[in-house]
Structures are given as C-alpha cells and as structure tokens.
Structure 1
C-alpha cells in the first residue's frame, strides 16, 4: 500500500527533527575536543590565524573525504569484496576489464565521494550481509579513528591548531554519516547500517541490489531466482526510497523481449505523485518507464506523457538529457533530438561512475538515433 503524500510529509518532518537533534548532539561532543586547547595554548585570534584555520578546514575536508572513502574500500576488501571504482570529487579511480585507470567526471547523484565494491560470485548470502555491514561502517570508522589519533597527538607531542582542525572535521564527517537519514537520492552510511541491522525497513532491498551487482555488474545476466526476488521486493515495498532505483536497475532485463512485463512491474513506481522537490531516484524510475514504453511502442499513446516527462528533474544529467531527447522525439524536433543524443554520448563517455560501461544507455541512444534518421528523411 502506497503511503499518502500527507503521511510522507509528516514522516519527513519527524526525520528532519531527528537530524537536527543529532546535529546538536554532535556539536556538544565537539566542545571537549577544542576547549582544552584554547585554555592550554591561549592562541592569538587575528586575521592571519583566521585565514590559516579557514584554509585548514578546506584541506581537512578533502583529506577527511579521502580517509572516509579509503575506509570503505579497505573494510570492503577485508570483507572479501572486489574494488570497482572510487570517486573523490571529480577524480574517479576505475577498476574495469582487468585494468585500472583514472578519469575526471562530475560526481554522480551529488555524492562528493563514493566507493563502490561488489562481492565475488561465490559469496553466500550470510557472508554478504555481515561483509556489507563492515564495508558501510568502514568509512565513518576511519574518520573517527583519524580524529582520535590526531586529537591524541595534539594533546601530547604535536600541539597544533591545524591538526586539531583536521581532527574536528574528521569527527564531524564520521559522526554525521552515522545519522540514519536520506536526502535527494543520497543515503548516509548510518541509514544503510540501520536498514542492514533491521532497525528500519529496506534490508532486503539493499541485499538484492548487491546480489544483482554480484551476478552481473555490467549487464542483465542474472539468475531467474534473483530476478523473481527483485520483482517480489518491488511489489512488496513500492513506497521505499530504494525501490525506484531497484526498478530502474531491473527494467533493462525485459527489453527488448518483454517490455510489457517491465511496464506492469513499474506501475505504481514510475510517474507517481511526488512529495520531494528534488528526487533523482524517482527521476531514474520515471525515465526507465519511458524507455520501456518506447520499446513497447506505447510511448506516444501514454496518457499525458509530456507532463510526465516534464516532471523529471535536472538532478542527474543523463536522466535529464534522456528526458529532453524523448520530448524532442514526441515533438518531432530532429535538431534538438540530435543535440541531446550527442551530449548524452559525451556525458556517458567510455565509462560513467553511475552507469559503468553504459551498455543499456548506449542501446537506448542507438534506438533513438534510428528515429532521428527517419525524422531527418521526412524533413
């Protein structure tokens, strides 16, 4: 049963209150870290020292992000997971096709940092669950350990306001990430841990997502049992924040042979009433349904399809460009369609931090290019 929008908004207000209280608790915890330093060393507060601290905060934030993502990667490796990619701002380290390389790309879904690992094919479900908890906890744990070590050095052998700043920033990042919350398609490590531990709903959705990656990272070569389990979870949890992303991931499995099955599965998930101004995961589900309708030959007959396309937001660039491409297709604007497809290929490139090898996305582009050719001939 889908939750009514008013109930959803009420739930988000409660979540916002919990986030505020958690933030205040973190602030209270920070006082014992830097107050003793002020009394012991009596630092001079002037313009120069203020600028030094501001620069130290920026540099510490970057270093804390690196510590966080490497914490995930190391914890995942110790849990038997295989490295796929890691993003630190626009820098993306990729392990694909038996080789590693570095590319520069805008962070996906607004994440400033992201470490993606997967389990080998032979990993049993029980090991996957415990390994995921260590992998997710590894990022905040690395920040908290770094903060503890830096603080110990500050109050023993290496008194330094810059080092203390590094400690505080690490503690902030680690503690904030342990707050179980989600916003604009992004979930904190705390929210994932809360789901994996069963404190909040979503454990099965997280596990099936990693099962899909485990069986076939780059495509749809999944076992019928895994697909059936994913379908059941989509039907059982239509209102969970992760369900739109799961539907978007699963939908290519039915194209080109059974797009009608994907259409039936996505009813109630795609094109539903929105209660968030920015919702990139819902955007992905909506554009997945558009791909399905197009493959089934039903896009032009879908009721109010232009309004449904227009409600897809700009948060994720590939989704936005596909939205504009389909609008250009419906409006028979070959020039605009051509420009959208060209930009899509440029944004996806040879590899993308969200879509990886982009096989499915490039197939959708190829299908639209055939239409473009027909429209150009007609002109």
Structure 2
C-alpha cells in the first residue's frame, strides 16, 4: 500500500511538471539548468522551514511552548525567556525539527488529542502552501521557481503523512498512527512529553515523582516499544550512582541485543546506558564479551561514541585516557545538543563517572 501511495505521489508531481512546461515552455540552456538547481535548493530549505513552522503554530494553538526549532544545522532555542541561535548539524536523521512541550499537566487523552493536531500542522502547512503556489504558477505568475516550490511542498507534506521510519526518526504519519492506535499508558510518545514537562519544572531528576520513573521503567522493560529505550538515560540520571544495580536491571533486557553492527539510535542508547550502569556496579570490565558489545555501538551520536571509547580505554586499564575522553564528551555536549538539549543531567553524570575513575586511579596508585 505504501508503494502504491508513493507511486501515485510521484505520478501527480510528474504530471503537474510536464503539464506546466507544455503550457509555459522555457528556453533551456546551461544558465537555465543552473537556475533550476538553485530554485530547488532554495525551495527545499524554505519547504522545511514552512513544515516546522506549521508544527510550531499548531503546537502553540494547542497550549504548547516552543523548546527549539531547527532547519539543517541552524537551531533556534528558547531558554530562560530568550531565543538563542546555535549552529549544530544533527546526526539523528532529521533535516528539520520543531520540538514543543506542554506548560501544564494534562490528562493523557487530552494530551494525545493536542499532540495529534500539533503533528498534523507540518504536513498540512506544506500541502496548503503547495496548492496556493501551484495555482499561482498556472494562473498569475508563470515562473519555474513557483512551480518547484509548490511541488516540493506537496512532496514533503504528502510523503510525511505516510507511516515510516527514516534511520531512527519517525515520519509525522507514523507518529500520528502511534498516537491514534497505542493504548494511552503504553505510549512512549505521551510519556516523552510527560518527561519534558517534568524536566522543564525541575532539572534535578532525583527530585522527580517516583511514580513517573516507575512508569518509564515499566514501559522500557515491557519491550512493547523499542523507542522507549531512549528513556534509559533518564533512568540512569535518577538511579546513578547510588542505585546502580537498579539501573542495570532496567537496561538488562534491552541492551546488547542487536545482531551485528547497525545504525540504530535506540539500540545505541540502550547499550551505552547499560554499560554506564555496569560501570557504577563495578562489573563493566568483567562483563562477558563487553569489548565486542561496545564495538557494536554505532556512531550516530558523537557523545555516545566518545563515551563508548572511554569505556574501552577503562576496560583496557588506561584510566587516564578514559577520563580525557569523558571530558571530551562534556565538551561535545556544549551549550545545546540535539539529543540531550541543554544536557545538564548528562554533564552531571559524566562528572560523576570522571570522579569515580579518578578515585579508582588514586586507589590503584
């Protein structure tokens, strides 16, 4: 069915392009071809911006607040009542994102309805702009830029409504499908927004409501949604270093389970989180096949990759290099990071890991 939809989408776009150039032929030349390429590049950037602006506007209409919006490496973040710009290429598989959060606690059904409207905002904005642009191109202003701009908006809007996964990123269509079909208390998407709300109120995760942490742990260990493993970071922040065995027990069922080396962000998070918990239990170096398990972690995220290399150095007895790598991970987090946002909790955990390693080095000496 998805292949049929993609074929129809391509056929419609092709038909409109052919019809336009039949009705309004262009004098083709090298200069014209270069212009068409430039039109496409500019149109693509504007199309992504329109898509994310659509999410943001629909989200605001649902009582959400803007956390950050990005197009390519350009990130606009709202923090402390100010708007801040960052230049950070994302390695998480998306070319644009509008991240929104709720300002107040809602009933899950109400949250689901509002999130569905927010997610629909991006594709609907693209499709609305595409219809307007194509109509204008065929009626008022016969210019190839307007046609290309309209067709790209139509392509992004319509294709994004199809349920699919690109790397570890869900299309809007898949997010909408999950929100509509998954039981309220088993929805990782809803739980993610509950976590965002809790974090916006208190960055000290150890002060969070234990009931929320219990819900996160239950969803992770149930195995019903692989994307729930992205919350293992939160579990580590809550339990480590004092309750390392508890953190390890939560990650045990999902970590080091992939077959071979694959680009899977959720598997990477599960593996590095479990390795971190094992480190604080003192069992990392003795874990069977640990070096091969760590080597299987992908390179989608530079922070995760650096932490993995730090663990490998630690296992090999090079504590000094392991500490240097953990310090590098803190630098990579910077002021803002696509996966960790402001990264306060991750930085705190990394500093705790450094302290443990340096204390161990002092004890050995």
Instruction: Give the TM-score of the pair, scaled to structure 1.
Output: 0.88
Q: Gapped runs of 5+ residues in structure 2?
A: none
CA distance in 1, matches of 2:2, 2:268: 25
The one of 342, 349, 352 equivalent to 1:357 is: 342
How big is the shift at 1:276?
7.1
The one of 121, 127, 132 equivalent to 1:144 is: 127
CA distance in 2, matches of 1:378, 1:292: 22
- Aligned pairs for 1:9-28 (under 5 A) are 19-28=2-11
Indicate whether 1:213 and 2:196 are aligned: yes
Moved more, 139-148 or 270-279: 270-279
Partner of residue 19, structure 2? 36
SS of 1:271's equivalent in the other structure is coil
Report if aligned partners of 2:71, 2:97 keep a CA contact under 8 Å in 1: yes
CA distance in 1, matches of 2:15, 2:182: 30
Moved more, 310-319 or 19-28: 19-28
Report if aligned partners of 1:85, 1:353 keep a CA contact under 8 Å in 2: no
The one of 223, 226, 233 equivalent to 2:212 is: 226
How big is the shift at 1:161?
0.7
SS of 2:181's equivalent in the other structure is coil
SS of 1:109's equivalent in the other structure is coil
SS of 2:63's equivalent in the other structure is coil
CA distance in 1, matches of 2:39, 2:114: 35
- Aligned pairs for 1:124-135 (under 5 A) are 124-135=107-118
CA distance in 2, matches of 1:353, 1:344: 14
Report if aligned partners of 1:259, 1:296 keep a CA contact under 8 Å in 2: yes
Partner of residue 326, structure 1? 311
Partner of residue 221, structure 2? 235
Instruction: Give the TM-score of the pair, scaled to structure 2.
Output: 0.91
Report if aligned partners of 2:260, 2:296 keep a CA contact under 8 Å in 1: no
How big is the shift at 1:136?
1.0
- Aligned pairs for 1:239-278 (under 5 A) are 240-274=225-259, 277-278=262-263
Moved more, 187-196 or 206-215: 206-215
The one of 284, 302, 306 equivalent to 1:299 is: 284
Report if aligned partners of 1:23, 1:176 keep a CA contact under 8 Å in 2: yes
How big is the shift at 1:200?
10
CA distance in 2, matches of 1:21, 1:241: 28
Moved more, 239-248 or 189-198: 239-248
Deviations along 1:46-77, one digit per CA (max 9) or x if unpaired, are 22211111111111111111111111111111
SS of 1:332's equivalent in the other structure is coil
Partner of residue 180, structure 1? 163
The one of 325, 328, 331 equivalent to 1:343 is: 328
What is the aligned residue count? 361
Moved more, 35-44 or 239-248: 239-248
Report if aligned partners of 1:120, 1:214 keep a CA contact under 8 Å in 2: yes
Q: Gapped runs of 5+ residues in structure 1?
A: 1-17
Report if aligned partners of 1:121, 1:215 keep a CA contact under 8 Å in 2: no
Report if aligned partners of 2:237, 2:346 keep a CA contact under 8 Å in 1: no
SS of 1:155's equivalent in the other structure is helix
SS of 2:99's equivalent in the other structure is strand
How big is the shift at 1:326?
0.9
How big is the shift at 1:19?
4.7
| Alignment RMSD (CA, Å) | 2.3
Report if aligned partners of 2:62, 2:118 keep a CA contact under 8 Å in 1: yes
How big is the shift at 1:44?
2.3
